[in-house]
Amino acid sequence: MGPHENPTDRSENQGAGRRKRMARRARMRRCLLKGCEQRFHPGQARQRYCSERCRAAAREWSRWKAQERYRATRAGKQKRNGQSRRYRERVKSRKPPEPEAVNEAARVIATERFFRPFLRPAGLLRELRTPAAKSFAALLFTRVPALERVEERERRWKRARDLIRRY
């Protein structure tokens, strides 16, 4: 028996070489980072995020979430309480002891311009007993550049108002 007239084997019908297979590309996915959710072609099978920046942000969130879960446990609460206690002790040791308050009224010599009703309510300086209040009073009666600017602006407005009234 001889060969068939129309053979269907690969060697004659499809040429001598093997057919090349096309490179397969994964279908598009959405980035799993909340807020990004861009569509991208993954370079690897298990790629979940579209970029290195999204991957880093997801890692940071994951660490934050793990820390939150740990802090909710009994051991985490104990550890955090210990940290807080040590911090409070450090702050106490860092602060110098406060000087005792003097029980006499502060004596402040003020100039006329500071006795305006909107700058000094009546009786503000009558009985200042603590050092903090005394230093505050001293601040009140020092010349402040911002206050000088306000006074200059008020003078200009007054001059303009007087000019308008004349005409």
Digit-coded pLDDT (tens) for 90-112: 998 887 767 776 667 666 666 55
Q: Is 106 within 8 Å of 133 (Cβ atoms)?
A: yes
Higher pLDDT, residue 158 or 13: 158
Q: What is the mean pLDDT of residues 155-162?
A: 88
Q: What percent of the chain has pLDDT over 90?
A: 37
Q: Is 128 within 8 Å of 134 (Cβ atoms)?
A: yes
Between CA 58 and CA 67 the distance in angstroms is 14
Q: 42: Cβ–Cβ under 8 A, 6 or more apart, which residues?
A: 26, 29
pLDDT digits (tens, 9 = 90+) for 35-44: 999 999 999 8
